[in-house]
Amino acid sequence: MAASQKFCPQCGTPNVSEAVFCMSCGSRFPAVAAPAASAAPTPPPLKTASGTPVPPLPRSGQSDFITLSCPNCGGKLQITPDIERFACQYCGYEHIVRRNGGIVSLEPVVRVMQNIDANINLVGVGVNRLGASSEKQIAEQTIARLKTEIAELNKQTGSYYDAAQIAMILGGILAFGGILLIVLAIMNAWSAWVYLVGLVLGGFGVVLFVSVIKEPPHIKAQHELERQKSEELQRNYEIVRRSDR
C-alpha cells in the first residue's frame, strides 16, 4: 500500500505527508489545515526534476519507486525512476541519484561539487607543471640563441681589434720613420724633398696611430649589445636552474 502523500504546490511532485520540503524543487510546504474527510483533493499534474509531466504514482498495488534513507537526516525517501536530483522532504538537503548496475544510491550534491573542485585543482597542478616545463624549454632555446649571437659579436670585435693592432704598429713605424728621416735630413743637410717625405710619413703614421686608439661608435654599440645579451643569458640560466629544483 502506498504511503500517504501530498503534492508540492510549486512543481506538483508527490511527497510523503510528513515532508517539510519538496523532494524535487526544495520548496518548503506551507502549514495547512487537514482537509475534510469527505473532500478528496485533486493532485496537480506531476513533473520530473527537468519539468517533464509524468503520470502520478499508483495508490494501490505495486508502486514504481524504491525507499532510501537520506544520508543527512535518515528520513525515508521514495525514489522514482525519473528522479535524478532532488531535495530531502525532511531536511532540505540536495542529493543526486546514482544508478549503477541495478544499484540505486544517493550522493549529496555538496560531495559531488567537492570532487569536481578536487579534480580542477589536480588539473591546475598539471597545468602549472606543464607551464614550468615549457618555460624551461623556451629558456634553453634562448640560451642556445644568445650563445650564438654573443659568439658572433665577439668574432666581429675580435676582428676589429686585430686590424687595429696592425694599424697601430704600422702607424708607429711610419711615425718613427718619418721623424727619423726628418732628423737625418736636418743633420746631413739633405734636400728639401727628403725633409718633406719624412714629414708626410711621420704625419700619416701619427694620424693612423691615434685613429685606432679611440674605439669607434659601432664598436661601443657592439660592446653594449654584448653586455645586454650576457645579462639576458644569465637570466635564462636562472630560469633553468629554478625549473630543475
- Which cell numbers in the block locate residue 212? 685606432
Question: Which parts of the chain register pLDDT below 70?
Answer: 1-3, 31-63, 109-133, 245
Rounded Cα distance between 53 and 51, Å, is: 6
pTM: 0.37
Q: At what angle do helices 109-188 and 192-213 cross, to 10 degrees?
A: 170
Is residue 123 situated within a structural domain? no
Domain match, 95 and 147 both: no
The predicted structure's pLDDT at residue 199 = 87
Which residues of the chain form beta strands (DSSP E)? 5-7, 14-16, 46-47, 53-54, 66-69, 76-79, 85-87, 94-100, 103-108
The domain of 141 spans 133-244
Mark whether 96 and 138 lie in a shared domain.
no
- Grid cell in block for residue 57: 504514482
Domain end marker among 79, 100, 121: 100
- Buried b / exposed e along 152-161 (16+ C-beta atoms within 10 A): ebeeebeebe
Residue 114 lies in a domain: no
Q: Give a yes or no: residue 119 inside a domain.
A: no
How much is the pLDDT for 118? 53
Do 67 and 148 have their domain in common?
A: no
Q: How many folded domains does the chain comprise?
A: 2
* CA–CA separation, 161 and 159 (whole Å): 6
Q: Say whether both 238 and 155 belong to one domain.
A: yes
* β-strands 46-47, 14-16 pairing: unpaired
pLDDT of residue 132: 57
Specify whether the CB–CB gap between 240 and 203 falls below 8 A. no
C-alpha cell at 241: 636552474
Residue 190 within any structural domain of the chain: yes
The β-bridge partners of 86 are 95
* Cβ proximity of 89 and 77 under 8 Å: yes
Tell me the Cα Rg of the chain: 48
Residue 109, in any domain of the structure: no
Query: What is the model's pLDDT at position 40?
Result: 47
- d(CA 172, CA 219) in angstroms, rounded, equals 22
Q: Which has the closest alpha carbon to 136: 240, 26, 31, 20?
A: 240
